[in-house]
A and B are shown apart, each in its own frame.
Chain A
Amino acid sequence: MDTDKFLNTLIKMAESMQNCGSEVYRTEDTLRRIGRAYRSEEIDVFVIISNIILTLKMRGEEAKTRSRRLDGSSGNDFAKLERLNALSRSVCAHPIDPEEFDKAIEEINNTPKSDAVFIAGSMLASGSFAVFYGGSVIDGIISALIGILIYNMQKHLSPVCLNKFAFQLCASLIAGFCAFIAIKLIPGTHIDKIMIGDIMLLVPGVMFTNAVRDMLLGDTLSGILRLIEALLLAAMMTMGFLVSLLLAGHV
């Protein structure tokens, strides 16, 4: 077995898991299990949210280390996580050829996602929370429409933004501004209810829970990094929405 190729495969596995919202503990544990299943003498994995370091020592060989810088590790794709989990389980039970393993990971990574489903999800989430917090049906519909906009921004605007904080600021600015225009054009709508629905879409709640989870599972460093990221994202979002609230107060 080619250790170099196997290392690449393992790194790819870790990267894929981190990119679809896995906890650090799960990623490290998965890699250790796979390493053991392939009869490595030693396997050392260290993952923080921005980096993976992997050292592998196969029998009768020198230890080899590979590292990878991670970016954009804040997405959540649980269907992918589940498939990767299932793949690692089957591989641990019956180790397959590393090349086949590599292909299986590629296949999971390249599964296309349909836009329509995600737009429906965004609409459902933002619309129902607007009504949930006491808005009327019209508030819910406006909030859902802004939800579509937020989804499209996440898809098209975030690649051109400097980083995710800049994107968060832009997205909440635009979403807040749309809510502001909507209440000016349509009488009887409530800016607070519309905004709350869209705040729920942008608020880094999952990141916050993942941060706490990482810390509880012993990955204090990753937890702190994620926590600070979540707080910064929340602060950016607050600033963005605040602008349109100030506008609404003055105009």
Chain B
Amino acid sequence: MYKKESVMDWVNELPRLILGAFGSVGFGIIYNINKKYLPAIWLGGFIAWLAYVVSLRVMTSMFMQALVSGFIVAIYAEIMARSYKAPSTIFFVASAIPLVPGKPLYECMNAIAEKNMSFALSKGIETVLFAIGIAGGMGIAWCICDSIRKIKRAGREKN
């Protein structure tokens, strides 16, 4: 019973996943990214939102959801950068776009407009925390990737 429901949930989530990924491609075009990377950007946007949707079901803390999603996108960007031999920023920046907390920011603004200050405050904190979470997640990923690179280089120099 539970399983069937969750399968339906996933089917309902699919159009959003695909759309969010196209949003990433749109930003890829705005940032003038080389056309041959656009499929990778699409997949990156897809993975970003997928990571968020999965973490939404596994974790309760919003900060941790952001952290894990940011981490996964950053790892994806690093892998793509290695395989295409291009700067990883290119892949990261556009892929992470669906994670940008535009919705809580809007809700915060709307609450201010409706003079619902406590709701505005909680949404504002949510926006900031989410942004910090993504930044933290990608920071952890970069640290790990950088260390791996240095360890590999040290190993190569020894041989």
Residue positions of A touching B, CB distance < 8 A: 21-23, 26, 76-82, 85, 113, 117-118, 120-129, 131-133, 192, 195-196, 199-201, 203, 205-206, 208-210, 212-213, 216, 234, 238, 241-242, 245-246, 248-249
Partner of B33, one of A79, A85, A200, A238: A79
Q: Which B110-131 residues have a C-beta within 8 angstroms of A?
A: 110, 112-114, 131
Inter-subunit contact A242/B113 (CB<8 Å): yes
Q: Most chain-A CB neighbours within 10 Å: which of B19, B23, B25, B86?
A: B23
A-binding segment of B2-10, B54-62, B89-97: B89-97
**In the complex, chain B residues whose CB is within 8 Å of the CB of A129:** 19-20, 23, 98, 102
* Closest chain A CB from B56 CB (angstroms): 15
**In the complex, chain A residues whose CB is within 8 Å of the CB of B109:** 238, 241-242, 245
**In the complex, chain A residues whose CB is within 8 Å of the CB of B102:** 129, 133, 196, 199-200, 203
**In the complex, chain B residues whose CB is within 8 Å of the CB of A82:** 34, 86-87, 90
Closest residue on chain B to residue A243 by CB atoms: B113
Interface size on B, residues (CB 8 A): 42
Inter-subunit contact A212/B135 (CB<8 Å): yes
A-B CB contact pairs (8 Å), 26 listed: A21-B31, A22-B89, A23-B89, A26-B87, A76-B30, A76-B31, A76-B32, A76-B93, A78-B93, A81-B89, A118-B32, A121-B26, A121-B30, A124-B22, A128-B19, A128-B22, A129-B23, A132-B20, A133-B103, A201-B30, A209-B138, A213-B138, A216-B139, A241-B106, A241-B109, A242-B113
**In the complex, chain B residues whose CB is within 8 Å of the CB of A192:** 106, 110
Inter-subunit contact A122/B32 (CB<8 Å): no
**In the complex, chain B residues whose CB is within 8 Å of the CB of A212:** 135, 138-139
Inter-subunit contact B105/A238 (CB<8 Å): yes
Identify whether the interface residues of A are mostly helix, strand, loop, or mixed. helix
**In the complex, chain B residues whose CB is within 8 Å of the CB of A23:** 89
**In the complex, chain B residues whose CB is within 8 Å of the CB of A206:** 31, 93
Inter-subunit contact B113/A131 (CB<8 Å): no
